[in-house]
Structure formats: structure tokens, C-alpha cells
Amino acid sequence: MELKKFEEIEITSDISNFFDKLADIFLIKTYNEINDVSFGRYELSRLKIEEKFPNTDFDYLVYIEEGHIMQDELVIIYFKELVDDLINIIDEFKEQEFYLDKSMKYINKNTEVEFNKIKSSNSNILNVSDYRLKNIKITLAGILSVAHVFGIKDLKEFLKEKKNIYLDKYNIPMTIYFKEFENYDINNLFVAEKEDVVLPIENIEDKKIIESIPNEEKKDFFGQDSKSDISTILDKLKDPEIIKLILDLINKKNSNKSNNDILNFGKDCFDGNENYEIPKKVIKSNENVNNQLKKKYESPEYDKNPSKYISNTTNREISEKDKEDINEILNKYEEVTQDENKVGDIVKQRGYDDFRDITKKNTKLFTEDMIYLILKNNRGEELEVLEKSLGGYSCRYINESNFSKLTSISKNIFLSKVSDMINLNLKNLGIKYEVDLSEYNYLNFGKKDVDEINVKGDKRILDYLILNNIVKKSYSVDSKGIRIYPRSRRVFDNILIKYLKNRIKYNKNFDGIDLRDKNLVRIIIIYLDELVEGLKENELEVFDEIGNKINITRIIIYLLKNKFKFSKTLLEKLNSLINYSYEEYIKDKTRDKDKMEILNIFPTRISLEKHCEIKKIRNIYIFYKSFYKEDENRVINSEVLATASVVVKCSQCPTPSKFVTGGINTFVKGDMILTENDKIILPFATCVATKVCSINIFGSKWDPVSNLKYGQSNALILNSKINCSFGGIISLESTYKKNVLNSKIEIIENKDKVDIKLNSPYKSKDELINFLNEKIFTFNFIEDCYDLKNNKVKFVKTLNIKMLELKKILEYFLKTKYVDKKIDFELAIFDENRIIDVSDIDQVINGYFSSIIGVSKNDKGNKIFKKYGKNINGSIFLKEYLLDKNNVEGKYEIEDTTKKNEPVWIKYLLKEYQKYKGRKRDVRLNEEFKRKITLYHKIGGGIDANSQTPWCSSFVNWILDISGIGSFKTPSSQEMISKLNRINKPLLGAILIYTKYDQNNNKTGHGHITFLMDISEDKKQYICLGGNQDREIKYSKYYIDKKMGVKGGYFKLNGIFWPPDYPSENILEIK
């Protein structure tokens, strides 16, 4: 177990060893394991964790080191819930000797098994003992381990009915669990034992109580927790002064001091430190002791002063700055938690052991320590108790936010009057809704406002809220929109902001704005915290990236430039908050820097305005409008921006074409905006000059263009035109005036007598494979579907959304360039002179994915799933899908979009390289890559393996498979020698195989395989791109003729190879 402490409770060796044994010996699991039902080292149920913590990132838990510690925390939380469910069983059987009668039967999957036929499949426990006719000890460790593995029902039946002994999946009887765990003490973590109390001996009544207690039931207090004594803590201390202090205490205790000196004991030992001047004893709590402590607390000496009381009973000093707040909060807390004897948690010293730590004698206690104490002491109702404990503070921010638009309201107005004014205002606006705020007392001023509580940014509190899944609850509001826990939530907000400032080393108010509820940076941080139900490391890293120069401009720029999951939501939130200009808001002197950063992205006012209109965040444009001169970049009113969906016309062809894509990632109404650099247009169906269209416009310029700039390029408008070198004038037509999907496009008849052989209007098979690989059968989407396998409702909802999206983009993607009159297929592709009907491809895809949860209504989709499971890609799917599809003959030429001088697999190789080349700097991408290697092994190598197994050959085969060549299903580079054809020319994309030899020049059976991409300047080394090169996909240099020394021998080039049946003519030769 990697966890060292859970909520201030030390993870003892017994606790750690218990969980280690459960995971390693019985469950045989590691942190990195995950399947459809369970995950991680403790085989926790994914469904149960998701129910308690919605949107759990299981990849983070399984593959990230910090996630492993969180697994430790989750298993403790889960076991604590087991304790609650089993409390009656624990009370009845814990620490009891349990006799196993001979009549008890061994049961495996509802079937009785004779003991002599039980054969363990657990290599850690090969010898299974029969404990019938013997006693076994029932401990808490045994109860929890059995409940976790076998379930509560079988545990109760075993203990209560004494009939059956159940076996686990490895054929280990539950009695072995009880026996193996009977000596592990885990009680202090799971059973809330009553803490002892510390009684400072300050008067005769104190002395009498101490004298009435037997010596063995009391011990000297020197700052330790109530469960420890001198002997158990001495070996943990390193401070010589503390050790000397304790040894002096022992000497004092052993000296023959008279009882009359007891009140003066220790004054010379502790150098006059107030906390140590009076002797103190650790004793058991009882009604008599509690009544004495209550008298002491209420006496003139303490005068209900929690700071002094805590200090004297923990030997910890209270921060002078925090004393007033601590006294206010804890006095309220004492009232809230009083029992029938009017004694509350403060007097009872409940949870004080968290403060008692001799090693922290010089560490002061702060207000947040007390807030954390209240939360921990009241799990399940912590927010309610904390809110009442903060009841002595006013909560002005609630009223200021409610009434900010009613500027005539004074701060001391009665709430009933406020209600009347609001209702009058609503009535004037035509809104029939009545607000009654008379029940709220937030305008009642206490000694201080909640915002005046001093905080230091204690992350323990933030973590507690997340870990106990109460962040959402803390933000909850009532039917009138008022926070249910206004004071508690405000304190949490302030702690969060302070923690974040500490983290990024920022020590002033954001943007120089003192008013917290007018500070946009603060508001957006808290809004994000509510959105994600507690900022976790992934979200906190966003602010790490922004850094200690953080302000509203840097946040807006980050959200505009980065693919952060919540960018759109946060920008819209900011837009709703902004109703003033930059100058009216910012108080810091950062205008020049902010202006430079904004103008760097949006060099003209129009570019900023249009972008904000597209993103529906116009108020952000108004916010920065003053950064531009008023007469700059006026846009002509008649201009209409051109987008990638425009109809493209040519004077040399009667049928239109379209853009392949645009070059900037900016959209209007879902369409990408075009700029003067966009010249990639699909060839037209015919050409008067060349018969077969071959657009050549790269030497020409679009004219006219808009003054509106995106980056350094001007946007295209519908009046823009460009000349083709073959004489055509290319122009644009708006899809809003004439929708390309519904327009009457000229029909071309496919007749044999036509002299000109037309380019195919259909997408090719290869184009559809690429589309499926990029849009549908992606690694992430397949993994996401499997992750949702146990949540059928969420699975179906996610798949339905994906399929609706797929249907639309498929229709657009497969739309013909022009209409073939003889063909009535709704959707079709062209391959090997056949026009193939693919109208139902979306239904088959839906059927494939629905089969994951067994609800497929499409036989073909289900058949494909059963055959390939998750080991699918576009090429495999299409091969199976097209087996019996309707088709007709078509006489077209296929527009070859591949480069003539390179093999087809090069583009897939480069794409995979581009995707994962930066993975070592991106934790999430790095973990995705490790899982992707398992796919290389599965599809390419034909084996089940992870990233620890050499994967160069599996990667090469995966590339060949994804590109349509097919995998040779071998993880061995040397086996590929017999699968490929040896060639004598170093062609671009050729497969190089290196063989490893030992020191005696014998082949070892190992080696390396990679793709040839180039040659070094001195012509001595090939430059190769491949997998498992320094454990990643990268370019590496390998000698052509020279031996390359490695441990135990050397590598040498075996040869240059090429896939069988793939043409090598016209492929570029590397020279």
C-alpha cells in the first residue's frame, strides 16, 4: 500500500500488510489492471465507485502514479462503508472464537465440493487446510476481507447459519481468509474508538479525580496522542530537545515528589512555556470526567475560551491571528454538539488526537485546522454542522449578489422590505413570481463577516470535500436560488482561491480587484470548481500553465487557444458576466501587456469582433474593443464571408465542386472560414481544356478579399475569384443562397458513347477506410464504449448521440460530386469499376457497437463484433461489410489522391508518429499510448501483451494492417523475414530488418524491424521511423553496413524488404 496516512490517521504496518496480503496473495491484482467490471489492485467494483463518484476517470486511477494512491484511499472508503453495513455482525462476532462443525459443507458456485477434491488454482496458497472441528478467530480484518471477496450475503450466512463454507474463484475457502488475517489489527482505521482525554491538573477537584483513578488507567501527557505512550514514541523523535523534555518528565515522575507539589510540577522543566507549566494526565473519558472538564471550560480561568482549552489539552500553540475566529466557531460548535448533559465535542476533546503530535510542538494551529476537525467529526452531516458553527458570522456576499441591481437598498434594511422591493421590481418587469427573504438572516451583522475569516489555503479541506463527494452538495441552493450552506461554501471558496494563489506563487488580488464578487478571475475559478465538482490535478494544471502572471486576459487567451474540455462553457460564463469595458474593470497596470497579447491573436478589431460573434461571446469583444482605433479595418457591409461549404464553380466545367477543407480552425454556423491561403479544391468532373480536370491555382491569388484577418491571412468573400493556369476562372457561390445538398445540380448520364471518361463522383473504398479510422473506429471511442459497458443507460445515450452525428457526416462525406442518373443508391462508393451500395453502413456500425452490451438488432454488425471484438479498424470492418453488398458496373476513373512515389502505409505511419511524438511530455497522452501498444500487439502481433513486451514488429504489422495491406500477425522481427519479399533497392517506406548476433557471431533470434525514410548526409546510415525505438515511435539512425554493438553482441542489417503483392514501381528510391 502506497498510502501513508488517511485523514490524519497513520497507516500502520498492520493496515498496510493487511491490504498488501489481500491484493497480492488472495486477489492477485496490481494497480494497473482494469476490465469491464472491476479495476485496480483491490478489485473494486467500477459500478459502485461510479455511483459514489460520478464521472470517475478510471484511466487516471489505473495508469497514473497519483491514481494508485487514490486507489488506496478508495478501498479504505469502501471498507468503511462495509463496516457501517456490517456493524451488527461486527458487534456480535468480532474477536470471538468460532467453532466449525464437521457438518458444514464446502460450496463452489452453488455446488457442494468434497474437501479432498478442492484444488487451489492460487499459486500463493497451494495447500488448503480443513478447519472443521476446530476454532477460528473472527477479527475485523477477516470480516472485511471475506465481505469484499464473497459478499455480505455469504458472510452473514456463514456466521449465522453455520452450514456452508464458500470458495473463491481460486478455490480458496473463506475460512482461510479468517485464519490468515486473524493477527492483523486494523481497528484504529475502521472502528472509531473512544478517545481518551487530557485533564490539566489545576485545582483540588482535578487532583481528586486523578487520585481516584488507578495508576494503570492514567499516564503522563507530554504532547502525544491519547493512544500512545512514552516508549512507543521515543524512537520516532529526532529533536534532541523533545527527547530531553520527555526524559526529564520521566525523571520527575520517578522522583519522590510530595503530593503537595503536584500543582507546581513541571514549571522548571518546560522553560516557562505556558502549555507545559501545569501537569496533565491522559485518562479515560466518562460522565464524571466530562462534567469536570465542562466546569473547567466554563470557569473564570477559561471563560469558554476554546483556544486556551485546546492549547492546554494538546500542548499546541494557537495562531494569535486566528484566536478570535477559532473561539467564535468552536463556541458555536460546542453548542451545536451538546449531549443531554450539555457537554459538546469541544469539551469532550473529540478529534483532538489530530492535534496531539509531539513532533509538531512548534507548529501552530489555525482556523482551518478547526474547520477540518468539524468536518471529520461529523461525516455525513458535516456541512450542516459547520454551517451552524459559522452562524455567528454575517454573510454579506449573499445579499450583495442578490441586490446588486437595486442600488438604493442600504445594508441595514430589513429583509421583509427587501422582499417587497424585489417583488415590486419583478412585477414591473412582468414577472409573476414572489420572493420572500424574511426567513434569511444574512444581513444580520455578527462581530465579523465570513469573508474576514483568515485562511491559509489548506488543501486537506478541499480534498476532503472531493473524497467524500460533497462538493456538489456544498454548492446547492434552495428553491429561491439562495445557497443552502452560504457561510461554509464561502469559506471553501476562500480556501480554494488562497490555495491556488499559493500554488502558483501569486500574492495579490487578481486584476487588482478587491471586491471578491466583482473579480472575474475568482468567479471563473469557483465556477469551474462547481462545474467539475472539485478541482482535481488535471484542472489545477491549467492554472500552473497560466502561471503567476494570471489575470482575466491570460485566462481568456488560454481558453481561446487551448483544447481545454470546459473552454466553451467558461467563455460563455465570462461573456455573461462582462458588462463593462476593460478600462472600467482592470485596476492593475497591465493594459499594455494585455493589449499586445490580444493584438497578437486578433490584429484587427474586425477579426476579434467576428470571432466573438462566431463563438457567441460578443461581450468579450466589447471588453477589449478599446484596444483598437475606431477607424481601423472597417468591413464593407455588403461583404459575405466564404466558408468551406461554398459551391465552387469553374468557367471550364458545367458542374460545381467544393473545397476539401479550410486552413484555419475558426467556424461560423458550423462551417470553417476560408482565407486567401485556401486553394485545395476537389477536381471538377470535366474540363474543356484538358478533359480530365487538374486544378492548378497555386500560382494565383484570390481577389478581392476581405480586410478581416485570421492570423496573417485575409478572409475570402463570396466575390472572391481566382484563375486556373488552364484558363478557367474559379468563383464561389453561397450555400445559404443555394444549399449544395438540395440544389438542382446538372445531371450527367453515364453512357458508353461518351468519349470523355469522367472522374468518379463517388468516394473510393480507401477514402471510406480513412474516414472510418479517423471518425468511428478510433482507439479512444472504442475504449470509451467498453468503459461504459456496465452502465447500459449511459452507453446507449452516448452511442445514440454518436450515431446521429455519424449519419449526418456520412451523408455529407459520401455525397456525390455530381449525380449519376442511372444510380439510385442513397449512399455509394466506387471500387474496381463497381459502384457499391453502402446505404445501411451506419446501421451496421450501430449494430457492431450495440453488441458490446448485447443489444444489437443488426445481424451483420453483431457478426463482425463476435469475430473481431475490439480489435477492429476501418479496413477490417469494410472488408466484412462489403462481402454481399449490391453493386453495379461503373466506368469511371478514380482520382488518385495518394502520392505516386510513396507507398500507401507512409501516411498512416506519419499520422501515428505525429499523434504520439510528444507523449513523454503529456501524462494523459503517455498513458493512452501505453494502452495503444496493447492494440499494436493484438492486431499487429497477434498476441495479448503490454508495453513491456518488445513491440517493433507488432507496430510494423499494425501499420500494414491499418493501411489495408494486412497484418502478418507476428511479434517477432525475425519471423517477418519469411513473410516479406527481399528487395535490392532502398525504397521509401521499405521495411528494414536488423538481426542480433551474440559475441560468437551466432544469431540470437532477436532483432529490430522499422521503416526506411531517408539516408544520412554521409550515406552511412539509414534514417528510419518505427516503433519501440527508445520505447517510442521516433526517427532513428541505423548503420547500413557497420555492426552496431549492444549488450551481449551486436546488430547488423539483414536486408531490405517489401510486402508481397504490393507494387514497388515508381516508388522513390532513397539515394
216-266 pLDDT, tens digit each: 888 888 777 666 655 555 554 555 555 565 556 555 555 544 444 444 433
Q: What percent of the chain has pLDDT over 70?
A: 84
The answer to whether position 797 is within a domain reads yes
Predicted local distance difference test score (pLDDT) of residue 241? 58
Same domain for 884 and 953, yes or no, is: no
Computed over every residue of the chain, the mean pLDDT equals 82
Identify the domain boundary among 133, 163, 190: 190
| Cell numbers linked to 470 | 460533497
- What is the mean predicted confidence (pLDDT) over 678-707? 82
How far is Cα 544 from Cα 855, in angstroms, rounded to an integer?
45
Predicted local distance difference test score (pLDDT) of residue 726? 78
The answer to whether position 636 is within a domain reads no
Transcribe 442-463 into DSSP letters.
Answer: TTS--SSBGGGS-----HHHHH
Domain that holds residue 586: 508-629
The answer to whether position 252 is within a domain reads yes
Q: What's the length of the chain?
A: 1071
Same domain for 140 and 242, yes or no, is: no
Residue 786 has pLDDT above 50, yes or no: yes
pTM beyond 0.75: no
Predicted local distance difference test score (pLDDT) of residue 387? 94
Q: Which residue is listed with cell 417587497?
A: 420
Q: Omega into 704 within 30° of 0, i.e. cis?
A: yes
CB 495 within 8 A of CB 549: no
Same domain for 525 and 605, yes or no, is: yes
Instruction: Give every CB contact of residue 829 below 8 A, 6+ residues apart in sequence.
Output: 762, 763, 764, 765, 767, 768, 814, 835, 836, 838
Identify the domain boundary among 309, 344, 365: 365
How far is Cα 807 from Cα 824, in angstroms, rounded to an integer?
18
Same domain for 123 and 271, yes or no, is: no
Predicted local distance difference test score (pLDDT) of residue 613? 84
Q: What percent of the chain has pLDDT over 90?
A: 31
Same domain for 265 and 145, yes or no, is: no
**Residue of higher predicted confidence among 824 and 450:** 450
How far is Cα 7 from Cα 468, in angstroms, rounded to an integer?
11
Same domain for 117 and 43, yes or no, is: yes
Distance of CA 831 to the CA centre of its chain: 43
Same domain for 305 and 346, yes or no, is: yes
How far is Cα 802 from Cα 848, in angstroms, rounded to an integer?
13
The answer to whether position 311 is within a domain reads yes
Of 485, 500, 476, the closest CA to residue 375 belongs to 485
Q: How confident is the model at residue 267 (pLDDT cuts 50, 70, 90)?
A: very low
- What is the mean predicted confidence (pLDDT) over 198-214? 87
The answer to whether position 338 is within a domain reads yes
Predicted local distance difference test score (pLDDT) of residue 27? 92
* Cα–Cα–Cα angle for 515, 519, 525, rounded to 5 degrees: 130
Identify the domain boundary among 445, 465, 480: 445
Same domain for 25 and 171, yes or no, is: yes
The answer to whether position 922 is within a domain reads yes
Predicted local distance difference test score (pLDDT) of residue 911? 85
Query: How many domains are there within the chain?
Result: 7
Same domain for 685 and 617, yes or no, is: no
Predicted local distance difference test score (pLDDT) of residue 634? 46
The answer to whether position 328 is within a domain reads yes
Same domain for 104 and 233, yes or no, is: no
Q: Which residue is listed with cell 480513412?
A: 770
Distances (CA, A) of 533 to 289, 468, 627, 777: 43, 11, 36, 31
Same domain for 178 and 317, yes or no, is: no
Residue 395 has pLDDT above 90, yes or no: no
The answer to whether position 385 is within a domain reads no
- What is the mean predicted confidence (pLDDT) over 96-111? 91
User: Buried (b) or exposed (e) across 257-274, using 16+ Cβ within 10 A?
Assistant: eeeeebbebbeebbeeee
Q: Which of 192-196, 443-447, 846-850 has the highest mean pLDDT?
A: 846-850
Residue 949 has pLDDT above 60, yes or no: yes
Per mean pLDDT, which range of 243-247, 917-921, 994-998 is the poorest? 243-247
Same domain for 779 and 863, yes or no, is: yes
834-846 pLDDT, tens digit each: 889 999 999 999 9
612-640 pLDDT, tens digit each: 888 889 999 999 999 987 544 444 444 67
